[in-house]
Structure 1
Amino acid sequence: MNTLIEYYQHLGWALSLLVMMTFLLAGAVKGMIGLGLPTVAMGMLGLAIAPAQAAALLIIPSIVTNTWQLAAGGQLRVLIKRLWPMQLGIFVGTGLGVLWLSIEGGSWVVRALGAALLLYALSGLFLPTLRVAPSAERWLGPVCGLITGVITSATGVFVIPAVPYLQALGLNKNQLVQALGLSFSVSTLALAGGLYWRGSLGGGELNASVLALLPAMLGMWLGQWLRQRISATLFKRVFFIGMALLGAHLLISG
């Protein structure tokens, strides 16, 4: 048990409490709307700790919750056949980003994180529902995956432009949830590989990430409970406004 909590002992009780509360909130958001765990975690933790630390902490909660999301729906084989070029693009983009960029690169990474959060929030609030023609998927999917991978390697956020692209494919609700789970799973594994290659993901970080799974799962259960009781549309609007304010703060303060 000492090895599990050693990271948090070094972090201090105040930051440790922030980590636990952040993953509780991030899990609740994901349980409510099917996405948002890494976005919330990176945004809130980016206020207090280095983005590379925050990205390492989200690895296990993100893998487990995305696998849970990926397993539901029964459309996985069909979605892999349709979306594999995009997923390959994510891997390639993350790999290139790891070579070109560094999530440990200082204040510019915090500003990049803020810009990614702000862009995501504004697209969620104001971007109209788009549609991608089937003929365009062959080239647009890999391009979106490549850009998503580069942004992931620099900020730890893997929703831009992956989420708007997947939403524009005309998938039904269950297919979209599973497609998001697939994309997020690939992004998380690619990010974990990049962090490990750079030496930012070791045993201590993985142990700390395992403990962060507990509040994330509790939050996800709470979010699923809330989904039956409050308007998902209203919740999404509040979520995007909160992400916009957080992103603007990180972008300005750096």
Structure 2
Amino acid sequence: MPFALDPLPVAVAAATFLLAGFVKGVIGLGLPTVAMGLLSTVMAPAQAAALLIVPSFTTNVWQLAAGPRFGALARRLWPMQAGIVLGTLAGSGFLQGNHAGQAAIALGLALVAYAVLGLAAIRFSVPPRAEAWLGPLVGLATGLVTAATGVFVIPAVPYLGALGLAKDELIQALGLSFTVSTIALALMLAGGGGFALGTAGASVAALAPALVGMVVGGWVRGRVSERVFRRCFFLGLLALGAHLAARLVF
């Protein structure tokens, strides 16, 4: 679908990717969550997801390449990644057409769930023997949520955090999962005609503010308390998700 060059969507998109990149630079995740949540207030979720493709892919590959254990993590997590691809492609069409309103509501609910988990600082633990069957199920669920909302943090992020990975391994594992999710989302949108040439160009243009925000966020990371920032971040997501989910009532 072509991206409308109206002043309001363009301004919101530029500001959104600047903010989303900043958040990712500070805490290592949150770009798709912030971008989808804000963009969905001024455009259809499918169009917002299409704009997300290039900035998300580029920043996630950057994050993936920064770690030292790609091979070991890929071998350990490939069943989960396969589930992500399968679930995303199986949910093709959720974001488009007559499902756009439901997708925005689902996005709101996903944001609320993510914010509540973040604010509660709930910690899970997955025993190694459970990874063989739980990983593919988590991947499949993440793919279905991605197909419906364009956001690929639930339940992937809590699951990866429960594996007991070291800090650098966790950052790289998140980069791997987010990269695979972005590719699967792009394939789903391309199959439905949602990632046409015009939208691809707009997505490339959105990369610049995302990278600027990410660099600034990385600079800020060492100068402010990550604990305080995360609390403000999750409170903001909670308010945004509640606003989108309110369409269930109003």
Distance 1:73 1:107 in 2: 39
Matched, 1:188 2:182: yes
The answer for the alignment partner of 1:4 in structure 2 is none
Distance 1:102 1:15 in 2: 19
The Cα shift of 1:102 comes to 3.8
The answer for the alignment partner of 1:204 in structure 2 is 198
The answer for the alignment partner of 2:44 in structure 1 is 50
After TM superposition, the runs of 4+ consecutive aligned structure 1 residues lying more than 2 A away are 101-104
Count of aligned positions? 246
The answer for the alignment partner of 1:18 in structure 2 is 12
Distance 1:232 1:127, change over 3 A: closer
Choose which of 62, 66, 70 in structure 1 pairs with 2:60. Answer: 66
Distance 2:89 2:10 in 1: 31
Distance 1:224 1:38 in 2: 17
Distance 1:132 1:222 in 2: 35
- Aligned identity (percent) is 55
2:32·2:151 contact (CA, 8 Å) conserved in 1?
yes
The Cα shift of 1:200 comes to 0.5
The Cα shift of 1:127 comes to 4.6
TM-score by length of 2: 0.96
How does 1:121-160 map onto structure 2 within 5 Å?
Answer: 121-160=115-154
How does 1:1-254 map onto structure 2 within 5 Å?
Answer: 10-98=4-92, 101-104=94-97, 105-253=99-247
2:46·2:100 contact (CA, 8 Å) conserved in 1?
no
Identify unmatched segments of 5+ residues in structure 1.
1-6
Deviates more, 1:10-19 or 1:36-45: 10-19
Distance 2:95 2:244 in 1: 18
SS at match of 1:128: coil
Once the two structures are superposed, residues 59-111 of structure 1 have per-residue CA deviations (whole angstroms, 9 ceiling, x without a partner) of 00001000000001111001001000000000111111116x34441311110
Once the two structures are superposed, residues 137-172 of structure 1 have per-residue CA deviations (whole angstroms, 9 ceiling, x without a partner) of 111110000000001011100000000000000001
1:22·1:44 contact (CA, 8 Å) conserved in 2?
yes
The answer for the alignment partner of 1:3 in structure 2 is none
Distance 1:124 1:84 in 2: 26
1:103·1:155 contact (CA, 8 Å) conserved in 2?
no
TM-score by length of 1: 0.94
